[in-house]
Every structure is written in structure tokens, then in C-alpha cells.
Amino acid sequence: MTTGPARVAVIGPTASGKSSVAMSVAESEGDVELISVDSMQVYRGMDIGTAKPTADERARVPHHLIDLVDASEEFAVAEFQRAHGDIIEDISARSRRAILVGGTGLYHRALIDGLEMPGEWPEIRIRLQAEAEQIGAPALHAQLFDCDPGAAAKTEPNNVRRIVRALEVCEGSGRPFSSFGPGLDTYPPSPVAQIGLRWERAVLTDRIGHRVHQMMEAGLMNEVIQLADKGLSRTAAQALGYRELLAHLDGSISLDEAVDLIILRTRQFAVRQLRWFQRDPRVRWVDIEHDPVAEASAIVREALNDPSWNE
């Protein structure tokens, strides 16, 4: 579980202003470093589409868990946990503090709650995916029910990805998938104060559209072309913005259709992010009206400096 120097997490949906708030607080405090909790910022070269902090921002405030692997490599949450543990030790050894900032819900919970993450067995996964195509998801779900009734009860019979993952872990580890930790439906006390940024949906929708167009103007298309030439891993190729522009490059859709699809899927993703975080009763929400830095920074600063704030 995250302890020591990381006492505060700034969370929320994409385009909510999390990074700006965290930067403002870090610069004003002077001894605070930022830890990115973003499953796609770990990939080198995926800069524009992941809204990665700029070189200037990283020069002003140290950022961590960014650019960990090439975009051609796979990267899992368990590896993210290990890298985070190393960073926390380093920050603590230098008597500095940290703020977690990001919107990848599972990665966030893995850090603040110390979730026990099962390993990865790619060969088993590939075989199960092929089997799912042959016999269908409901039949595969029946197999899951035989080996792990607890996981099957929490998994929709048509959710192929989750069924395959649960079966992969059951077979690869020799343990039921449901035996790994208390699960995501449990919210134990945490030493990390979680501060969520929340906008009216219509306003956030507009912010997302504006942000995507800014990314395109900043050169996202060229970034995707360069990455495609080198090859992207299965996970990296599914990142918002990259997936749609890759479809344009292979001739499946026009550029305008790709941009519209990026905006649509990013808006849908933001809704899912908000639902994920709002299930956690430990999050204290700040409803933003105009300026996230002006409206939330003081609250984050208070949580950072008051040991009793999260009690």
C-alpha cells in the first residue's frame, strides 16, 4: 500500500485539469514530486496523445512513472506497482513528498490499496481467446464457473475479455482469480487522501473535444505514423487516439472520421472513469465551475500539509 511521501492523489476523468492542479501545488510547495498514474504515459514516444507532461514541466517539477518502456512492449499493472515501490523509496530517502496524479482507475487502486495483482500468461491467454471465438463467450463463462464460481458470479457471460483473464489466472497460477485480494468492491481505510475533480458533463464534453483538436494541431498524426513504423504492442495500439489514427492509416476510415471517433470514445471513456471513481466513498469531490487550478489547488495543498485531513 502507498505510504510515506505520497499522501495525496488528484484523480478524475480525462481533461478535468488534474495535471494542472498537481503542477500548481508542487511548484508552490517546492519539495513535492509528481507520480503519474496513467497506463499509457508509461510508453516512450506516446507523448501528445497521452497528454504527457512537457519537457519544460518535467524540468520544473520531477515526474515519475513516465517513459518506462518502448511502445512496442507490453506493460502490466503488476510491473507498474513494482516501479512505483522503487520510486516511493527514492522520494522518501530524499525527504521529499509526492502527489499521485492520473485517471487509470485500476492502476490507482493498485497503488493506494496495495492490491495483490496476479501474473500474466500470454500463451494461455492467446489459446483462450481462440477458444472463445470457436465456442462463444457463454460456453467459456461456464468453464469459469466450474473453476472459480466467485469470479464467474461477478462477470457478465458475454464479457470475453474478463472471462479470458479470469481463466488465464486460474490456469496459470493454480489459484482462483477471485482469491487475489479482497477485490475492487472493497474500500479499506487508506493513508492517501483522494481528491477528485468533477465538471458538469456538458462542459467536460466540450473540453474533451477542444483537447483532441489541440492534439491534432500539435502533431498527433505524425506521432502515430512514427510509432506505427516501429511497431506498437497490443496494449499500446489500443490507446485512445492511437487506435483510431491507426485505423485511418490502414485505410479503414477517413481522417475526419478518425478524429470524430477519438472525441466520441474519449467522452465515453471519461464517463466510465467518473463512474469508477464515484464508487469509491473515500474520494472527496471538488465540483469545478471554471478554473481547476484556482478552485482545487488550495484543497490539495491543505490535504498535503494536514496529517489529519484524511481521518
What is the predicted pLDDT for the residue at 3? 47
What is the predicted pLDDT for the residue at 78? 86
- Interior CA angle at 66 toward 109 and 79, to 5°? 50
Element (H, E) at 174: none
Given a cut of 60, is residue 1 above it in pLDDT? no
If you compute the radius of gyration of the chain from its CA atoms, what whole number of angstroms results?
20
Q: For 116-175, what is each residue's pLDDT tens digit?
A: 878 888 899 999 999 999 999 899 999 999 999 988 998 888 889 889 999 999 999 999
Provide mean pLDDT across the span 172-200: 88
What is the predicted pLDDT for the residue at 4? 60
Residue 287, C-alpha cell as written in the block: 465540483
Confirm if 21 and 302 have CB atoms less than 8 A apart.
no
Hey, is 193 helix, strand or coil?
strand
- Could you give the CA distance from residue 174 to residue 29 in angstroms, rounded to a whole number? 48
Q: For 62-106, what is each residue's pLDDT tens digit?
A: 999 999 999 999 998 889 999 999 999 999 999 999 999 999 999
What is the predicted pLDDT for the residue at 117? 76
Residue 85, C-alpha cell as written in the block: 515501490
Query: Within 10 Å of residue 32's Cβ, how many Cβ atoms?
Result: 23
Q: List domains and CATH numbers for the chain.
A: 6-116+184-305 (3.40.50.300), 122-179 (1.10.20.140)
Given a cut of 50, is residue 223 above it in pLDDT? yes
Provide mean pLDDT across the span 162-191: 87
